Amino acid sequence: MNNSFFQKYLLPGLIFQFLIFGGGYGTGRELVEFFLNSGPLAGLVNMAIATIIWSSVLAICFELARRGRSYEYRSFLYDLLGKGWIGYEILYMLGMILVVSVMGSAAGEIINDMFEIPNITGIIIMMILVGGIVFFGSTLIEKLLSFWSILLYCVFAVMFFAVFSKFGNTISDNFQYQTNDSSWMMGGIKYAAYNIGLAPAILFCVRHIETKKEAIISGLIAGVMGMIPALLMFVAMLSQYPDVLEAAVPVNTVLNQLGWDKFKLIFQIVLFGTFIETGVGLIHGFNERIAVAHQGLTNQWRTGIAICLLLVSIFLANAIGLIGLIAKGYGALTWGYWIVFVIPILTIGLRKVVKI
């Protein structure tokens, strides 16, 4: 594959997929909260709505970043909102800490399930690895994120086909269990906003894009790429519906029923690595913003900033737990992202893109 094609059209989507993957997405817990709780059919509709919002916002973001050469979120948001960018800064900090906390809690659950050791051990291991990778900067991070994302797609595809071949009839039958009071839109609107709200963290990869057409196409592709693993997991979880609704780590429920212990171990290792990469992407995005204000930000300072953020996240992850973080934390941020980021992008940002 042509390297230029990969960097322009696939790399942004792969990195976006890592940004949103996190501990809630990767374990299936977010998919339960925002999609599967509404029922199978309503859940699919909500996923489609979230994908449309993601693709639209990313297409506009990529073009605005390319046009203004704003490859970190501070300058990007200043161009969009003027002095109002500080509102986004506050939400970004809160969202970053929350998402990293969710990943830490999920990492603890995974390590506990694999080795039956305390959750805090997995949390600490993940945080140490995140801090180490952040030290090396954009080039290494792009390579690691793209490689691991391809690996992630592979294991998700294997899981999907294995589950569907064993429980295909059950999955088909479970589509009939649809409650009358289901939300056919709100889950997708909420899920899209709090995920896409952190999108400016990945603008460092947009520097490879040269034209408006490339930016628009890349953004549209990225939104779809972000939802593909979720769709595969959603269908797989229907094999254990409705029991899976109460599981802290729904994907483990599916893997346990699959009865393929070696694959479960491989899946959990890849999942654990994905949590690390998501944390890296978020914290690196924050470091890139700091680097603009303080030229010559050294790798040591990058690592130090990462460690401080990770320590706060460790505390939250260990104190609150995975289900509590997702159920209570995400809802509060969702409407903030709509107000200070999504709506401005779809109005002010769209107008700027159309005029260009």
pLDDT tens digits along 37-70 = 989 999 999 999 999 999 999 999 999 999 999 9
Which residue type sits at 89?
E
State the average pLDDT over residues 138-150.
77
Query: Phi, psi at residue 181, to the nearest 5°?
Result: -95, 25
Going by C-alpha positions, the residue among 320, 40, 292, 1 that lies closest to residue 171 is 40
Does the structure show a pLDDT above 90 at 276? no
Whole-model pTM?
0.84
Tokens of 203: 């603008």
DSSP-assigned states of every residue in 271-338: HHHHHHHHHHHHHHHHHHHHHHHSTT--HHHHHHHHHHHHHHHHHHHHHH-HHHIIIIIHHHHHHHHI
Selection from 140, 203, 146, 199 nearest residue 6 by Cα: 146
Lowest-pLDDT range of 11-20, 41-50, 72-81, 97-106: 97-106
Q: What is the mean pLDDT of residues 203-224?
A: 94
Confidence bin at 137 (pLDDT 50/70/90): low
Q: Over the stretch 160-210, which tens digit does the pLDDT of each residue have?
A: 999 999 999 999 999 888 777 777 888 899 889 878 888 888 898 899 999
The answer to whether 76 and 68 are in contact (CB under 8 A) is: yes
Residues 6+ apart with CB under 8 A from 352: 64, 67
- The dihedral of CA 213, 214, 217, 220: what is its sign? negative
3-state secondary structure at position 69 = coil
**Statement: residue 12 has pLDDT above 60:** yes
CATH class of the domain at 3-170+184-355: mainly alpha
Mean residue pLDDT of the chain comes to: 85
Segments making up each domain of the chain, as ranges: 3-170+184-355
Q: How far apart are CA 60 and CA 129, in angstroms?
A: 33
pLDDT in tens, 283-337: 877 887 787 766 667 777 878 887 888 777 777 666 666 556 655 666 667 888 8
